A = this chain, B = another copy of it.
Amino acid sequence: MVLDKGMGLGETRDLLDLAGGYVDLIKISFGSSALYPPEVLRRKLALIREYGVGTCPGGTLLEVALFQGVLDRYLGWAEKCGFTWLEVSDGTIEMPQTARSTCIRLAVRHGFRVVSEVGKKDSHQRLDPAGVGRQARSDLDEGAVKVIVEARESGRGVGIYGDDGQVKHDDLEEIVSFLPDPRVIMWEAPLKNQQEALIRRFGPNVNLGNIQPGEVIALESLRVGLRSDTLKTCLPKKEGER
């Protein structure tokens, strides 16, 4: 999942021609899709669809719509724009479980593939791994196809990452212990050390999110062992090395 903070049409086509085969989903970040000239947004989403790649607005936009009590109009708007996925999150607002369930089910009924997001954007709220694991499981039961674990654009001091951006492995393991299959999770992982750690833990096909457009090919190199950091683990160890 690529985090798109405002690619123009030319840059979008460049990315798709070069690396579209390595991308499942492009997230038009935050509420920014509401700020595009409508015709530019329509053409951009149509272009991405041509390459078989999914698109969704950032979860913040749904949170605004929900807070304003216009969820139905939001779903209609997203459909008309040409989005094919929808994100359901509560990163900023408080959302009771019943509202969350309703959002997921309604979006599924509208024909969207739904990703839910778990975890708060606020770095002062410590992650509750068991709560995240249970929420993920519940979202899948409601119809979500994947669950994103929040890490923002920075990847520091949020979710499963410490202030230094390192993975907190105990938290990560506790989250997946609640799930039948860890592949239902899409880990936001904007930093290279995070991508590397998650590839080592879950294998080269792990779902990673908040990837910058210019990093897609570099990440694919990391996945398949064509970059030093993962290549060296394929090599025979020398004596004395662990």
List residues of A whose CB falls within 8 A of some B CB: 5-11, 13-15, 17-19, 21-22, 29-32, 34-37, 40, 60-61, 63-64, 67, 91-94, 121-122, 214-218, 220-221, 224-228, 231-232, 235, 238
Contacts and interface: CB of A to CB of B under 8 A. Distances in A.
A94 B237 CA distance: 11
Contacts of A94: 238
Chain copies in complex: 3
Nearest to A34: B226
A5 B19 CA distance: 11
A8 B220 CA distance: 15
B226 A61 contact: yes
A61 B226 CA distance: 7
A19 B18 CA distance: 22
A233 to B, nearest CB: 10
A40 B60 contact: no
A218 B29 contact: yes
A6 B214 contact: yes
Contact of A8 (B13, B67, B91, B231): B13
A19 B31 contact: no
Given A60-B226, A91-B228, A226-B61, A17 B37 contact: yes
